[in-house]
Structures are given as C-alpha cells and as structure tokens.
Amino acid sequence: MPPRSGAGFTLLEIMVVMVIIGVLATLVSLSVSGRAVDDRMEAESRRLEQLLRLASDEAQAKGVELGLRHTVKGFEFVTPDTRSGRWRLIEDGMFRPREVLPPFYLELRIDGRVVAPVPPAPRESKDDDDAADEPERRSTARQDDEEERKKAEATQPQILILSTGEITAFTLDLKLKELPTFYRLEGNALGELRSQRTIGQERR
C-alpha cells in the first residue's frame, strides 16, 4: 500500500506560526503608537509656533510689548501693566496660559544655556486692582516694598517679544522622556521663527 501523505500541520508548526503572528502584531502596534505620539508632538510644536507668530504680529500692530514665560505647567504670555508698569499675566483670550501635559515637556535654552521653568504667574486679584487706584504717593512708596518686588519677579518674562519685531533669541524643545526624537522651535533676534523635527541623544 502507498504511504499516507500528510494532510495537516503539527502542533509545533502551529505554535511557531502563532509566535510569528504575535511578534508581527506587536511590531505593528508599536509602529502605530509611535506615529500617534510623533503626530501629537508635531501638533503641539506647531501650535506654539503659531502662537508666537501671532504674538509678534500683535505686538507690532498694537505697539505693545509681550513676554513669554516657560512654566512648570507649560507656557504663558505677559504684558506690561499700563498703570504700574509691572508685567502682568494675560489670563484670557488667545494668549491665555497653556499647559503641556505629561509625558511631554518643554526645554528652553537662551544663549545656549538651559533655563529652568518657573512657577505660573499669580492671577490678578481685586485687591491688586484696588491697590492700583490708591494715591500716587502710596504707589511710589510701595515700589520699594518687598512684596512689590516679589510680584515683579513672579511675572518676569524669559523671552521678550517687542513691538519693533525683535524677540529674544531662544531655542525651545518639545520632548518626550526616553524618546530621541523631539521638535525644536528656534527664534532669532530679528523675530524669525523656525520649527523642525530633530533626532538627538539628549535625555531629561
């Protein structure tokens, strides 16, 4: 009688196929996940770039000075108060404070040195408004007060956006811990901005 030909797969062959399918599925999942993270980083970087461009246009169009602060939560814009001259937080509208949610984070460099993030600027309270309406002599005396000095420091910008179109030269990176790819936003003293995807070996 002729020998029977094999009509099926052995258990070992089935197990090998299942392992291969599992590996391929994992690779596809990691690829899709990595792409989603990269897209999110790019979108966040573009948003920051557009806000800075709009802030520069706003400063030139209205003849006002603006500032950018890199905070522990994200970033915020400030502008000089017309009465006290002290920088105050822009709380509403297009230039309201923005958060950069974990696991992403920002890294600011000015003159090649890393600038540590600062606490968010304090919100303006009714007491501050009432104090600004006091007599000028009291306002002048208050300028040397320790509390007033602390308020000024708490809203000091790290990047100046001037009405002349100039800005503080800076490098602002949007990163994800343990990921070598990040997005870099650069600005020079002439107010020119450039955003690019960068691959490096830097770690937080």
Q: Are 167 and 189 in contact (CB under 8 A)?
A: yes
Integer Cα distance of 195 and 204 in angstroms: 20
pLDDT for the residue 41:
87
Cis peptide before 103 (omega within 30 of 0): yes
Token pair 């002599």: residue: 137
Taking the model in full, what pTM does it have? 0.72
User: What are 23's two structure tokens?
Assistant: 């590996």
Integer Cα distance of 126 and 79 in angstroms: 18
- Min mean pLDDT across 18-32, 39-53, 82-96, 133-147 is at 133-147
Q: Which of 114, 107, 75 is nearest to 173 (CA)?
A: 107
Q: Are 64 and 79 in contact (CB under 8 A)?
A: yes
> pLDDT per residue over 99-153, tens digit each?
998 889 999 999 999 999 999 998 876 545 444 454 454 555 555 566 666 766 7
SS3 state of residue 6: coil
Integer Cα distance of 89 and 122 in angstroms: 7
